[in-house]
Structure 1
Amino acid sequence: MSEMEFDSKNSSILIKRVDQDDVRRSIKYHPSVWGDYFLAYVSTEISATEEEELPRQKEMVRKVLAQTPDHSYKKYSTKDDDLRTVALSFRLLRQQGYPVSCDVFDKFIDSERNFKASLIKNIEGMLELFEAAQFRIAGEEVLEKALEFSSSNL
C-alpha cells in the first residue's frame, strides 16, 4: 500500500490508496428460520364455533354502522365556533389527503378579511391554526393570512 502526504497551512492530510483486498465483501445470510416456523402455522380454516359467531358479529357491525350519523365535515364545522377544534379537524383531514376547503376559517375572519383579534388569547387555537396553515396550497389566501397571524402572535 502506498501513502502520500500533503501538508496544508494548519494540518496535514494523509491519503491512502485502497487495495482491492480492503474493499468489504458482501455476505449472503441464511434465511431466518422464524419465517418458516410461523408461516407453517398460518391457517385459513375456521372452526365450528367461529363459523357460528361470524353472522352474529356481522349483524352487530351492521347495526352500529346504521346508527352512526352521516360523517360530514361541513356539517360539524359549521356548528363549531372553537378555533382549536376547527383547525385541528382541518389539519388532520388535510394530512390524510382529503381536499378540505379553507372556507371553514371564514367564521374567524372580520369584515376587513383579517383574523379576529380576540383569537390571540386562545393559545391552543392559535397553535392549531399555525399547524393547519402548514397544509396550505398555493393560492389559499386565508391560510397564508393564518400562518402570518398565528406565527406573529404566538
Structure 2
Amino acid sequence: MNIELIKGDITKIEGDAIVNAANSSLLGGGGVDGAIHRAGGKQILEECMAIRNRQGKCKTGEAIVTTGGNLPAKYVIHTVGPVWNGDEEKGSKLLANCYIKSLKLAESLDVKTIAFPNISTGIYRFPKELAAKIAIDEVRNFKSEIIEKVVFVCFDDENEAIYNEFLKEIR
C-alpha cells in the first residue's frame, strides 16, 4: 500500500472511502464529524440513524459504513475513537482498533483508496504524537491485496508536521 500525507479538508477527498472520526451516537457532532455530516448531506445522517436503530450506538474502536452522500468519496467509514483519559495502554489499543476495523471494512467493500483524518486528536484530546504513531504503524502493518493507497489528511499544521516526521523515518 502506498501511504500519502496531505494537509487539507477530508470532505474534498475524491476516492473510494474516507474515514469519519465519529462519536458513538453516529448523529454528527463537532470537528471532522460535523464537517462530514454537513458536506455529505442528509443521506449520511439517515443511514447512520437506520444503523443506530438496528444495532444501537457504535462502540469505541468499532466501525460502520454509509454511502458518501454528496461527498466525492463513495463511502464514509465511521469509527469511534477513544477519549483520552491518561490510560495509554487501553487508549492505544482502542485507537489501533479504529484503524484496523476501518481497513478491514474498506477491504470488504473492495476499496482501493481510503483517507483517514487524525482520529481522537481534537476534542477527544488524544496525544497527537502517540495517535500519529499508532495510525502509521497500524496502516503499515496491515497487509492488503485490495487497498492500494492510504491517505492521511491533516487539517492543521501541527498534525501535518508530526505525521511528516514519522513518515520520514519509514521512507
> Shared fold by TM > 0.5?
no
As a proportion of its length, which structure holds more strand?
2
Give the helix-richer structure, 1 or 2.
Answer: 1
Which is greater in Rg?
Answer: 1
Alignment TM-score, normalising by the size of structure 1: 0.30
TM-score (norm 2): 0.28
Structure possessing the higher relative contact order (Cα contacts under 8 Å, 6 or more residues apart): 2
